[in-house]
Structure formats: C-alpha cells, structure tokens
Structure 1
Amino acid sequence: MNDSETTSVHPYEALTPDTVLNAVEAEGYYCDGRNLALNSYENRVYQVGIEDSQPIIAKFYRPHRWTRAQIQEEHDFCAELVENELPVVPPLPDANGNTIRDYGGFMFALFERRGGHAPELGNLNNLEIMGRFLGRMHNVGHLKPFESRPTISIQTYALDSAEFLLANQFIPMELETSYQTLTDDLVKIIQQRFADTHFETLRLHGDCHPGNVLWRDDIPNFVDFDDARTGPAVQDLWMLLSGDDRDQQQGQLNKILAGYQQFCRFNGAELNLVESLRTLRIMNYSAWLARRWEDPAFPHSFPWFNTQRYWSDHILTLREQLAALQEPPLSMPW
C-alpha cells in the first residue's frame, strides 16, 4: 500500500473535539471543556470532564464495524453480568433506558469512569481471583446464545486474514510463498485440532487480556466488551498465561482453574485449543492492522507495521506457532 492511500478522508476525521463535547452535552451533561483521548484505536474513546461531577467516558463506535443489533447485544450482555453482581463497567442508560446514543452519524455510548490498574498476573493469588470471576461470568454466558454477534472462527481469523493480506499485496513479494505455505499448514492443523476437540460454546468477553481489566481493591473490573463473541470458554483464560516456561504456565493455569471451577465446570479438552487460538489471534491481528491502515491514526501509532522487518518477524512468529502446535497441551491440574 502506498502512502497516498492513507491520506483519503476517513469517517473519524469528522469526530473533532467539538463534536465529542457536543455529543455528550446533547445527552444532558454539562462539559467543562476537558477532553482527553484515551488509548483506543478500533473505536475512539474519550474521558470528558463534567461540571461539578466526575468525568465520564465516551466511546464512539467505528462506523460500519458492528450493526446496531450487535452493539445492543454487547450492552445487554454487560447489563446481564451486572445484574448477576459481576464487576463489569456497563454503558450508562439515557432517560428512556437506551444505551446506544447517536450524534453526527456516530453511534456512541457513555460509561462511568472507574479507576484501577492492570492486574499483576505474576501474583498467583490474583490469577485465582481472576478465575473465580471468569467462572461466574461464564455461568451467565451459558444462559443463552448471542443472536447477532459473530463466533470466533478459523474462517474469519485465519483464512479471511491471509486472503486479505495476500490480495491487497501487504506481504512483500519475496515472502509471499513462505507466508502462504506456512499459513496453509497452520490452518490444516488448526482445523484438525478443532475437529478433534469436543467443546461447547458460550458468550465470552472475547478479548480478556490484562489491558481490559481494571484491578481495584483485589477485584478485577472487566471493561471493553467490544470483541464479545461466541466461542469456547478457554478463549477467556489463555491470555492470562504468561512467560515461555511450560512449568510456569502450568502453575498459572492451575491457579486460574482452582478459582474458575468453584463456580463453573471447565472442559479440560479445550486445553487442546490454546495454541490454535493463539495462532488465530496472531493472524487476525496483522490483518486488523492492514484493514485499518487507511485510518490516519494507524500509520501514526504503528509505524513499524508493513515494513520488511515486520513481515519477516511475523513469519518467524508463525513458524514458532507451528512448532508450538506440535507440543502436548497443558494439562488439567486434577
């Protein structure tokens, strides 16, 4: 992709500071002029100062990514979790109970600002606490299915990702054959792994990495359900594992499941999917950056993307995943 393609008008260019403040004030809030852009790229998220009150968070959804029905399911899931006393930060309703708001062609939502920091996952007690709350969350997730939101799938995360990158000539020509051969091999293994593993699906957070958890008073407050999808329970667990040492990860998993299974049964067969899900996430992430490359915020924030070095490293990472898929999975602690 050449640089001229990043200079076309993007929908978010209409989301000026004045537009953000006007949108919030149109909902009955009186802004004090403070408007801090937070670290978000898929959507645009701002901390907006409110006169004589605490700031609130305004999240403007990326146009054309989700339908209104899909966003509503995200909001309804959050409300359902709160009703079950889960520490989730839900969207605030307006006077009519609506959580999706509209202004200037954007759908947006308002949230309470809640303080906290990323959980220290090196602390095994924290992992057990995380496991307890995820077990409770998944109990709710099992109650009914999503009707509109998508499923975590090999087609979407792997096949569509590889096709997009190759069709739009993001992969350097000299690396195309290596990339295509490697991703074909990965997809075959992942397809077989999914076919060989019996598992149920449920409503998930979908992107439960430490950056989407605000740790406060020994309680994990879950935020940003923007990637809530249907999938296997292990999708919300594996991103809490850290480090390259297998014994270390096994110890972490044992603590997570010790907490999780106090509230929800875990199917140990799903551990066969961990490296497959990790590979899907890696492939999808590169395609996500490529699909968003016309958004001016992306070249500015990810200057290392779409360089020869990036794609060489990406292929190396995928080769490491090919090796990881050959290794035996982590095991159940009992």
Structure 2
Amino acid sequence: MPIDPVSPDDSQSSGTSRELDARSNGNTWSTTSAPEGHGDTRFHPFDALAPDRVVAAVESLGFWLPGEPFALNSYENRVYHLADDDRRRWVAKFYRPERWSRAQILEEHAFLAELDEAGVPGAPAWANEAGETLHRFEGFDFALFPHVVGRAPELESAEHLYQLGELIGRVHAVGRKSAFRERETLSPLRILEESCASVLASDWLSERQRDSYQGVIEALRPLVAEQSWPESALIRTHGDCHIGNMLGRDDSFALVDFDDCLSAPAVQDLWMLLTGQSDPELHMQLSEVLEGYEQHCEFNRSELKWIETLRTLRMVRHSAWVVRRWSDPAFPQAFSHVASLGYWDDHIRSLEQQRVALSAPRWLA
C-alpha cells in the first residue's frame, strides 16, 4: 500500500477518537481531582509509552519502522500513525490498561473482520501468521490497523448524508446477523447511575452544585426509564458514529474506530448525523440518511423517540468520563475547562434542558 500524500492532520484512522466522547468503563486510577485545573501528578501507565517503546512493540511483530511514530488525537487509548519500510501506512492502537478484557477486544476485531469480509469499507485489525490480531508488549495490549485516508464528511451535504446512511446500513446489515457475547449493552439507567456516582464521589462540584446535579439526575431517572428500549431492539453497532470516525471523499466513506462497539438500538449509530437547528433541516437530514440506510436494511422509525435519551446519556457520561480519567495527564491538558465551577453550572443547565426535551421528545418521522 503506497503512502498517500496526506498529512496525519488531514486523516483519521482506526482506533482514534477526536471528539469529547463518553467512554467511562473500567478506570482503575483516581476518580477525584483538585478543582480549577490542578492536575494529578502521580505516575500513570501511559507515561511509560515513550516513542521508542511504541517502535519496539510494532517491530516485535516483524515490521521495520524507518521513522518516528506520530501521535494521533486520542484520549481513551494511545494511537500512533507510522509507516514501515515498504511505505505502508499503519495505525498502532495501545489499549487503555484494564478497560476492556482481551475477550472484548477480540470480539471488536472479529466484528471488523466480518465487516471486511462483507465488503464494508473500514480498517480490520492486522493478523500475524498465527491469525492473532491482539498483541502484547511490556504490559500493553495493542493492535495494528491499516491507515485510512480521508476527511470528515460535511453534514450539511445531502450527498454526504446519503453516503453515510448507506455505510451505516451496510454495517447494520452485518450487525443484525448475530449478537455480541462479550461487548457491553447500552443500558440507559446503568449509565445514568454510574455516571452520577462518579461525579458525586469527586470533589469537583460546590455544595450548591452537588445538590442541583443530584436533583436533575433524580428528575431524569424516571424519564430515561420510561423511554428505554426493549432487548429486541438491540443489534451490534459501531456505538460512536461522530464525524471524526467517518472518513473519505465525496463518493465513498469508511467507518473507523470500533473501540466502543456494543449492543444498542440502530438509532445509536444515526442520531449524531442529525445536527439541524430547525425542523426542515432535521427532516432533510433524516430523509437523506434513511434513504441511504434502507438500501441495505430497514429502519424502525419508532426508534426516533429515543434520540433525546441517547443525547442525555452522552452528555452525562462525557462529564463523568473526564472526572474518572483526570489522573491521565492528557485529560487536564485537553479538558481544563471541565475543572471550573462555570462548566458544571452550564452542564447542570444543559441537563435541565434535556429533562424538558425528554418530557416531550421531538418526533421526526
């Protein structure tokens, strides 16, 4: 695979995450922090992942890397762009220790292989001669993925929306054929409870904010429970379909970074494409997305009523994720604003707005 003349800044690759994503599983480090941006100075496992160790890990698989690895934007894992001596471009993803089990990661890789076999554009994990896709080096689990070149889509473009709907429809056509055994299930009340517990266990909020935060979560709980989905709606999904994970050109896109793949309703992979501020804009976007999607499988439009629940969960989980990960040095640098009292006032107001939205969800069908 020749090196495409596109800089790493103009592309994204499997294993990366560029948005403020809600990943809140399995952290074993401190869940508290000093407010107002004072970081935790204790040693973090990723501190040991120096460039020479990244190179040594990849070369242990039989590659030779003539250049330095380039760190890509990723917070949950550590992800590097690199090229080998045959000018093939790769992405090495080093998984956050103790977040996913090896069985869960291997199920992600198996899903990617199934999609690749079905001809769905993406980046399946590289396998060695023994067929192994998950490798270990000096305490780190890591995987290697082919580099995917492209730019994020434009959600104002009807053509791009159609292409993205078709891509996700192809993913779901494969996802519906069987079920995950190891990956998580998107469970609204569990996410709400665990996120709330993490925030309240920290020292990030003032006493007034703690009371307000707890009050709005209590108000959200019955609304979220009422609008939860049945088990029959669950399929294998990508789980995190923001535009940074969809790359390509005008007539072709690929879906990358299946790190959050899970069992969820189909709308989980569609709702973040609907960014319009008015009803006509939303209806246009939805029409284009579903026209492309239904080239490959049907979409149950009754799932649209769950969009505000999904939006609420993403908001709640993002804040809890930052609190949980604060001992990782990357987080105080990237999310310093979250350590301010003003952020939490805004967050509580946003959750109150979601309470109103959940009380009368917008029907888009």
TM tier, smaller: over 0.9
1:1-334 matches, within 5 Å, as 1-2=33-34, 6-194=40-228, 200-216=233-249, 218-332=251-365
Q: Structure 2 regions of 5+ residues with no counterpart?
A: 1-32
Quote the RMSD (CA, aligned, Å).
Answer: 1.5
Deviation per CA, 1:91-140, whole angstroms, max 9, x where unpaired? 11112111101101000000111210001111012111111121121111
Asked if the contact 1:79–1:90 (Cα under 8 Å) also holds between the matched residues in 2, the reply is yes
Distance change (3 Å), C-alpha of 1:330 and 1:252: farther
Deviation (angstroms), 1:172? 2.2
Letter in 2 for 1:127: L
**Aligned partners of 2:348 and 2:143: how far apart in 1?**
38
Deviation (angstroms), 1:243? 2.9
Letter in 1 for 2:58: V
Distance change (3 Å), C-alpha of 1:281 and 1:328: closer
Asked if the contact 2:240–2:261 (Cα under 8 Å) also holds between the matched residues in 1, the reply is yes
Distance change (3 Å), C-alpha of 1:88 and 1:52: closer
**Aligned partners of 1:312 and 1:247: how far apart in 2?**
32
Distance change (3 Å), C-alpha of 1:168 and 1:330: same
Letter in 1 for 2:54: V
Deviation (angstroms), 1:222? 0.6
Asked if the contact 2:159–2:250 (Cα under 8 Å) also holds between the matched residues in 1, the reply is no
**Aligned partners of 1:124 and 1:168: how far apart in 2?**
44
Distance change (3 Å), C-alpha of 1:34 and 1:55: farther
Deviation (angstroms), 1:54? 2.5
Count of residues in correspondence between the two structures: 331
Relative to structure 2, which stretch is displaced further, 76-85 or 250-259?
250-259
Asked if the contact 1:154–1:280 (Cα under 8 Å) also holds between the matched residues in 2, the reply is yes
**Aligned partners of 1:112 and 1:125: how far apart in 2?**
26
Asked if the contact 1:199–1:270 (Cα under 8 Å) also holds between the matched residues in 2, the reply is no
Deviation (angstroms), 1:280? 0.4
**Aligned partners of 1:175 and 1:66: how far apart in 2?**
32
Relative to structure 2, which stretch is displaced further, 217-226 or 20-29?
217-226
Deviation per CA, 1:55-83, whole angstroms, max 9, x where unpaired? 31110000000000000000000000011
Distance change (3 Å), C-alpha of 1:248 and 1:327: farther
Asked if the contact 1:154–1:187 (Cα under 8 Å) also holds between the matched residues in 2, the reply is no
Percent of matched pairs sharing the same residue: 44
**Aligned partners of 2:189 and 2:136: how far apart in 1?**
32
**Aligned partners of 1:77 and 1:209: how far apart in 2?**
19
Asked if the contact 1:135–1:263 (Cα under 8 Å) also holds between the matched residues in 2, the reply is yes
Q: Structure 1 regions of 5+ residues with no counterpart?
A: none
- Per the alignment, in what secondary structure is the counterpart of residue 194 of structure 1? coil
- Per the alignment, in what secondary structure is the counterpart of residue 149 of structure 1? coil
Deviation per CA, 1:155-205, whole angstroms, max 9, x where unpaired? 33211100111022332222111111111111210111126x785110000
Asked if the contact 2:237–2:269 (Cα under 8 Å) also holds between the matched residues in 1, the reply is yes
- Per the alignment, in what secondary structure is the counterpart of residue 71 of structure 1? helix
Asked if the contact 1:162–1:287 (Cα under 8 Å) also holds between the matched residues in 2, the reply is yes
Give me the TM-score of the superposition, normalised by structure 2: 0.87
Deviation (angstroms), 1:311? 0.4
Distance change (3 Å), C-alpha of 1:133 and 1:49: closer
- Per the alignment, in what secondary structure is the counterpart of residue 132 of structure 1? helix
Deviation per CA, 1:258-284, whole angstroms, max 9, x where unpaired? 111121111111111000001001100
Larger RCO (CA under 8 A, 6+ residues apart): 2
Letter in 2 for 1:146: F
**Aligned partners of 1:282 and 1:259: how far apart in 2?**
28
Distance change (3 Å), C-alpha of 1:212 and 1:46: same
**Aligned partners of 2:218 and 2:197: how far apart in 1?**
11
